[in-house]
Amino acid sequence: MDSIPLAPPTLPSDVILHYVAEGAANVIYRFTLPPPSPPSTSNLADLGQGPQQSQTPPPTEIPALHYDPVFEHRLLRLRKALPSASSNERACAALRNNFLPLFPASSLIAHDLVLLPPNFLCETNKALHALEKDGRRPPKRHGLYLAEDEPFGVLVTDMTPNVAEGETLVEFKPKWLVQSHSAPKGWRRCRTCALRLQRNAARRAKGQPEEAGFCPLDLASTDKARVERAVNFIVTTKHASGEQDLNRLRERITTFVQSGTIVSKLKALQGELDKVGVLTADVTSKDYLMAAAIRDCSIYVKVPKEEGGSIEARIGDLDIKSPDNGKAEYWRALESGLIDEGWYTGVEKDPQPDQTWCVE
């Protein structure tokens, strides 16, 4: 296992957590640290707070009481108990060794290990149970809890927008920006759109609502109209209060995607790291697992209210995938189903109402 470069700080045991959100593998919390403890009474005289107050040093000589600055502007990410998940120590080492060399630090969500106090995860799991009972945890996340044998949490960059100052956060997963190399000749749908339509057919059969989405090939295109089409799915009414604000925000995000380097860099890496497709690739290789991580990453774009303000964008969720515990077999079976059932070529048994085809 890769070593930790520096000893991580310890999270105070009396920290207060505030549930923010969760994904399939992690739960994100905002946290409030208690006020730093004052110096012991044996040292009060040295700080002018005891009987010898005449010896009080000037303010500039009084040692500052504060926490490690790594806690500032961070959220706490805690890992769920999934058999295929890597430990936080291994995940942070993989990020540091594999992805940090590929991107400027300013383009990535920072990840720093923090040592968790005893019984911390057990108590936090109890709080998750309480959230379920109160209806404040999404139903689809019920039943899966934090890995209580995990010694570390991860401090990640807080990209929460300052709503009072008019900031807006747009978050999305770019997914497969390059078509799967396993797709059959004559394909008419990209990997992401083919999988979405296959899953929508299953949802319809169960009477469940279908999901809409954008085509990643549009997002990664150099054609402004196609980029706009993708952005119109990503930026919705939840991001803006009125039609004029919504249209302007979409314009700004479209310009960001076209003029920035993040989407094009992710596209290039997907193509470089997986050149043959999951059906023939060595799915245990470092390159393939990095490609899989990049396909499942998220992009966080924080947009200021001012037109001339700088947009801050960072990549997150770059977690190396594991082929163990049946995941490799699942990946291949999923791809084979898309091919054999005609989802790539548009000849599936359950035709979709929307027959819009993807273009590379």
Residues of the chain with pLDDT under 70: 1-5, 36-67, 351-355
Query: In the chain, which segments carry CATH 3.30.200.110?
Result: 1-158
Q: Is the pTM of this model over 0.75?
A: yes
Task: Say what the pLDDT of residue 296 is.
Answer: 95
Measuring CA to CA, how many Å separate 19 from each of 41, 110, 133, 187? 36, 20, 14, 43
Task: Say what the pLDDT of residue 40 is.
Answer: 45
DSSP class of residue 57 equals P
Task: Say what the pLDDT of residue 1 is.
Answer: 46
pLDDT tens digit sequence for 270-293 = 999 999 999 999 999 999 999 999
Question: Which residue spans within the chain are E strands per DSSP?
Answer: 16-22, 26-32, 74-79, 111-115, 152-157, 168-172, 298-303, 312-316
DSSP class of residue 319 equals P
Strands of 74-79's sheet in order across? 16-22, 26-32, 74-79, 152-157, 111-115
Q: Are 315 and 108 in contact (CB under 8 A)?
A: yes
Task: Say what the pLDDT of residue 53 is.
Answer: 44
- Tell me how far apart the alpha carbons of residues 261 and 287 are, in angstroms, rounded to a whole number: 21
- The CA-based diameter of the chain, rounded to the nearest angstrom, is 89
pLDDT tens digit sequence for 39-76 = 444 443 343 444 444 454 554 454 444 567 889 999 99
Q: Are 80 and 145 in contact (CB under 8 A)?
A: yes
Which CATH fold would you assign to the domain 1-158? Phosphorylase Kinase; domain 1 (3.30.200)
